[in-house]
Amino acid sequence: DQIEFIQASIMPGSKVHYFSTHKAAVAMFLDEMQEDRKTLPIFPYRERLLDAITKHQVLVIEGETGSGKTTQIPQYLHEAGYSKVGKIGCTQPRRVAAMSVAARVAQEMGVKLGHEVGYSIRFEDCTSDTTIIKYMTDGMLLREFLSEPDLASYSVMMVDEAHERTLSTDILFGLVKDITRFRPEIKLLISSATLDAGKFSDYFDGAPIFRIPGRRFPVDILYTKAPEADYLEAATVTVLQIHVTQPPGDILVFFTGQEEIEAAEEILKHRTRGLGSKIAEMIICPIYANLPSDMQAKIFEETPEGARKVVLATNIAETSLTIDGIKYVIDPGFCKQKSYSPRTGMESLIITPVSKAAAQQRAGRAGRTSAGKCFRLYTAWSFQNEMDDNTVPEIQRTNLGNVVLMLKSLGINDLINFDFMDPPPAETLLRALEQLYALGALNDRGELTKLGRRMAEFPLDPMLSKMLVASDKYLCSEEIVTICAMLSVGNSIFYRPKDKQVHADNARMNFHAGNVGDHLALLKVYDQWKETNFSTQWCYENYIQVRSMKRARDIRDQLEGLLERVEIEPTSNPSDLESIKKAITSGYFYHTAKLQKNGSYRTIKNPQTVSIHPSSGLSQVLPRWVVYHELVLTTKEYMRQVIEIKPDWLVEIAPHYYKLKDVEDAGAHKMPKGKGKATID
Ligand code: ADP
Ligand code: MG
């Protein structure tokens, strides 16, 4: 008799699997887990913590990563009866953490994931009517405010990983603080890993701080003697060095993203290939946001005797996830960060040095279960002199369009006086208002329009939402919803293995036949896949990542449901490419660029020099006028996902934003000032 929760749990292949054939064995396993819970640093504080929660409406909780805050506190609250009054909610800044922690807690409670314990992340709701402990991303809780502005179904809300200071968490602070005023019975917990507790307490009107002393073993910090030019190379060499010279213990390496992790994995596999039994077995476990959940589970599996686990992680392993058994940390000192210039309105992802606080967190991962070592791939001098003390909160370095639209839909009109913990730059706020006005989501008094209300229904950037709503007018909602879903998956549709790059590129170029542009190529990929009845074989043959396609299909299904909610009929005209492009332009007219004599581009408003990304189907074609989806900064500012447009569409689609002389070909390089600018009071 198989037990069902094991199947549904996202951790096949872990210890559970082994125990899963008999009910008695599972019971034994659960007992063992209950014993494990008691060994966590938070356990001795269980009663005191519950007392403090009874006494105070708002409590700031501070404790070392791995002490048990995320997995245990919601269970304690449930055991103490809070779940009889309402749900226990817990927010996480990261998708992967929400899923993984929910799975863990479901396991500890011996229930099926999605029943009593569930999670909700964008495009994936794994909860049900029986859910009493709900983990969710901070962004999802923000969206819940739209349907339940007083969080009436919750008895406790725990805003976890508060120190991460993501944009959504910062906005949540203001909203939940407000709720505590008119719902005296709701409990609010703000938990964090680092030393910002005082700041949180001040913000929440002097809420008491509950400290959970951590167990910390000493961690030796090692710096490089000289700066390393190539940290990817340096990191892989260090892994191998540790592997052959250091005593047992797993290794955790921090990278900035999926591409780096995959590259490192390849290098490590290549270098250890053929060494056979000359070295101990090395188990390489990547972990990043887009990794499928069955592979995420691998990082938690116990390392077999004699082998060594090497976890290649993004920032997610800094505080959101705790992996037991890590003894060595390799810290290249970088992370990928959003940056935003309110002057140009441009947002890009850039690789930047981490802060001192982040570096200390990273090092701390090595000393959780025994003494450890942290290898910093930078010099002691650069740590002292080149790294900021703390990471700048996201709210101060991102485009606020999304959040402003959300707050406006919640009826919060006076954004300048919103209770921000750290306010965003006024210029950024104005920019967001201006952009929403240009999109038609706000009127000239800054109030939400009917269009804006419809746009707010979608968990997407305002530009994408606008494109979806506009597809109604251009009678191509089927096509646009597909394009939206494909864009939302990110840049992981095309597969380009190192040894088959030529084949992969040829396969990719097939979808670009006729230089239709990247959006339409993505549409073609999806439609052809659909025609083969979603065939995996077809994906292999065409160098398409089947996993990404399945995700696109899921997202597409959800978006279709939302279209129905805002009463947009399915319409389709696959051969009318102009209409499809016009619908895209309706959302993205902000992102227009014109070809220059030297082959680079110049954006039309707030002129900037940009180029078409080499991965684009149009990178050799260089059309005169383009609309792009996003900018990425690598060696230069690149436009990624590009289509060609006709300049007069801009005047047709956004007459309040573009005047004829903005888009006239002759003399267009001279930028008229102050034309078509939105005014907002
Ligand atoms: P905190 O939130 O204080 O950082 P957690 O509650 O996340 O601590 O972690 C407590 C313990 O639970 C850690 O020892 C961690 O290894 C374990 N744990 C958490 N999530 C999982 C998981 N998905 N699989 C296995 N163990 C986990
Ligand atoms: Mg946690």
Q: What is the pLDDT of residues 623-679, one digit of tens each?
A: 999 999 988 877 888 999 999 999 999 999 998 888 888 887 644 444 444 444 333
**Per-residue pLDDT for 9 more than 60?**
no
Type and span of the H or E element at 593: strand 592-595
CA of 68 relative to ligand 1 center, distance in Å: 6
Most confident of the following: 151-155, 386-390, 603-607 = 151-155
| Residue of minimum CA distance from atom 6 in ligand 1 | 68
433-492 per-position pLDDT tens digit: 999 999 999 999 999 999 999 999 999 999 999 999 999 999 999 999 999 999 998 888
Which among 113, 111, 109, 110 is positioned nearest to 100, based on CA atoms? 113
Record the tokens describing residue 258, joined without a space: 């999926």
- Rounded Cα distance between 162 and 172, Å, is 10
Contact between residue 361 and residue 316 where contact means Cβ atoms under 8 Å apart: no
Whether the CB of 296 sits within 6 Å of ligand 1? no
* Ligand 1 atom having least distance to the Cα of 72: 6
User: What CA–CA distance (Å, rounded) separates 355 from 93?
Assistant: 18
Is residue 46's pLDDT more than 90?
yes
Q: Is the dihedral angle over the CA atoms 269, 272, 276, 282 positive or is it negative?
A: negative
Question: What are the structure tokens assigned to 260, written together?
Answer: 């780096």
Ligand 1 neighbour 100 (Cβ under 6 A): yes
What was the pLDDT predicted at 657? 87
| 127-154: average pLDDT | 96
Task: Look at 29-43, 406-420, 657-671 and tell me which has the smallest mean pLDDT.
Answer: 657-671
Indicate the top mutation candidate among 71, 108, 365 to test ligand 1's pocket, ranked by most ligand atoms within 8 A of CB: 71
Please name the residues in contact with 119: beta carbons below 8 A apart, sequence gap of 6 or more: 98, 99, 101, 102, 113, 126, 127, 134, 135, 136
Instruction: Say which ligand is closest to the CA of 100.
Output: 1
Asked whether the beta carbons of 102 and 116 are under 8 A apart, the reply is no
The pLDDT, as a whole number, for residue 476 is 97
Query: Mutate which of 69, 72, 322, 326 to test ligand 1's pocket (most atoms within 8 Å of Cβ)?
Result: 322
Question: First CA to last CA across the chain, in angstroms?
Answer: 67
Q: What is the pLDDT of residues 180-194, one digit of tens each?
A: 999 999 999 999 987
Q: What is the pLDDT of residue 195?
A: 67
Q: Decide if pLDDT at 3 tops 90.
A: no
Instruction: Decide: 322 in ligand 1 pocket, CB within 6 A.
Output: yes
CA 141 to chain centre: 15
Which ligand does the CA of 325 lie closest to?
Answer: 1
Whole-angstrom distance, CA of residue 496 vs CA of residue 265? 15
Position 330 pLDDT exceeds 90: yes
Residue nearest atom 22 in ligand 1 by C-alpha distance: 104
Q: Which two tokens stand for residue 492?
A: 């992981």
Verify whether ligand 1 is closer than 6 Å to residue 75 (CB atom). Answer: no
Could you please report the per-residue DSSP string of 603-618?
A: ESSS--EEEE-TTSTT
Q: What is the mean pLDDT of the chain?
A: 89
Ligand 1 atom with minimal separation from the 160 CA: 2
Cβ of residue 613 lying under 6 Å from some atom of ligand 1: no
- What integer pLDDT is reported at residue 145 of this predicted model? 95
Distance between CA atoms of 284 and 257, rounded to whole angstroms? Answer: 16
Per-residue confidence (pLDDT) for residue 660, from 0 to 100: 84
- pLDDT > 90? residue 8: no
Question: Nearest bound ligand to CA 66?
Answer: 1
User: 673 versus 336: which is more confidently predicted?
Assistant: 336
Task: Provide the token pair at 362.
Answer: 């990273």
Q: Strands of 87-92's sheet, edge to edge?
A: 124-126, 117-121, 133-137, 87-92, 154-159, 187-192, 58-63, 209-212
| Identity of the amino acid at 274 | G
Q: Which atom of ligand 1 is nearest to the CA of 321?
A: 7
Q: What is the pLDDT of residues 83-98, one digit of tens each?
A: 999 999 999 999 989 9
Q: How many A from CA of 319 to the centre of ligand 1?
A: 10
Going from the Cα of 323 to the center of ligand 2, the distance in angstroms, rounded, reads: 11
65 lines ligand 1 (CB under 6 A): yes
Tokens of 438: 């240009």
Distance 369 CA to ligand 1 centre (A): 13
pLDDT at 13: 32
103 pocket-lining for ligand 1 (C-beta < 6 Å):
yes
Cβ–ligand 1 distance for 67 under 6 Å, the answer: yes
Task: Say what the pLDDT of residue 22 is.
Answer: 52
Q: Is 387 in a helix, a strand, or coil?
A: coil
pLDDT at position 193, please? Answer: 87
Ligand 1 close to Cβ of residue 104 (< 6 A):
yes
Condensed to tens digits (0 to 9), the pLDDT of residues 67-83 reads 999 999 999 999 999 99
Query: Looking at 10-24, 30-44, 492-506, which range is the least confident one?
Result: 10-24
Tokens of 334: 């970088």
State the distance from the centre of ligand 2 to the C-alpha of 411, rounded, in angstroms: 32
pTM: predicted TM-score of the whole model, two decimal places:
0.87
* Residue 641, SS3 per DSSP: strand
The pLDDT of 241-265, averaged and rounded, is 93
Average of pLDDT values for 345-371?
A: 88
Residue 568 tokens read as 């947009």
Of the listed ligands, the closest to the CA of 74 is: 1
DSSP 67: S
Q: What is the mean pLDDT of residues 125-149?
A: 96
Nearest ligand to the C-alpha atom of residue 320: 2
Q: Is the ipTM of this complex over 0.90?
A: yes
Query: What is the model's pLDDT at position 23?
Result: 59
Q: Cα dist. 593→189, 599, 602, 625 in Å?
A: 47, 12, 5, 6
Distance 161 CA to ligand 2 centre (A): 6
Span from the CA of 68 to the centroid of ligand 2 (angstroms):
7
Residue 5: per-residue pLDDT: 22
Q: What is the pLDDT of residues 261-294, one digit of tens each?
A: 999 999 999 988 877 777 888 999 999 887 777 7
